[in-house]
Structure 1
């Protein structure tokens, strides 16, 4: 059974494939947007992670007929009242400019003391399938915002996010370590009952 992950991010595709393999979900072939015929993708205009994830999953399912998963994720910084939030990917103005987004956030937090640099990675994941099946789940990963980036794994704000209970950043964790704890890993695992249903396992 094909499962469409409504993303062109190769690291997100690899992450979902690893989680399914680790959890013993066989018979599900995860494909991305680059593997299906192009279709109009609506901009992310919803005010919540859940709203954006569900809109993307609905669009993907309507366009392809494939069971579809979509996520919307970002970082919510306590000292910024939960921002960048849903604007995380375009915080600096240009969508997907990871370095510019990271540098802007560090600049905004320059004078914030260490004890007030808490925050969380947030991921909402949505599943849409035939028969009117829809599910939306949420995963969070608490931690603190470092003053300097460290690590080369991951993407986005990973190099400045130090998860609770760790002395390294998310970008210094191995893929397996990140899958086990991350916001996206937690959200995707909450969808496992639906994904097992696809596989018949």
Structure 2
């Protein structure tokens, strides 16, 4: 595998504000990640002659820090151009595309508790449009959920898909982007 390179001087910078509303308790662990995929498959090596296997799309995950503003608000900085476009395989320039920026929140940070994972796509970053994700309060420190090794809740961005839950059974995490200077 080639040594994929992060962009040391990104120019497409966005500040994200993460706002938690109506959660059943605090979050002791808040982490951030940006996922980049190669968006130009023609730059990858051709399929192998003997097996015909295609090369998987290269993916890179870059962590970013969330700065605590209050119990219910954090800020972080993400980049659209976080990876360097380069000829990594000798078949032309591989162009990286930001697939999503996401947060991972846990009530205490303990192993086995539910991770709440809201995300925002690059189209919403560029449009500076907020993304609201709805989560079930019952998943917060739920003993039944912790029987799984690594439980995760991605929530729903469409409230109408959670009609089985009342508003008082939900909390939201909103990611609000704003263009920033490098």
The answer to whether TM tops 0.5 is no
Q: Return the structure number with greater helix share.
A: 1
Q: Return the structure number with greater strand share.
A: 2
Work out which structure has the larger RCO, using CA pairs closer than 8 Å and 6 or more positions apart in sequence: 2
Q: TM-score, structure 2 length as denominator?
A: 0.33
Return the index of the structure with the highest Cα Rg. Answer: 2
Q: TM-score, structure 1 length as denominator?
A: 0.31
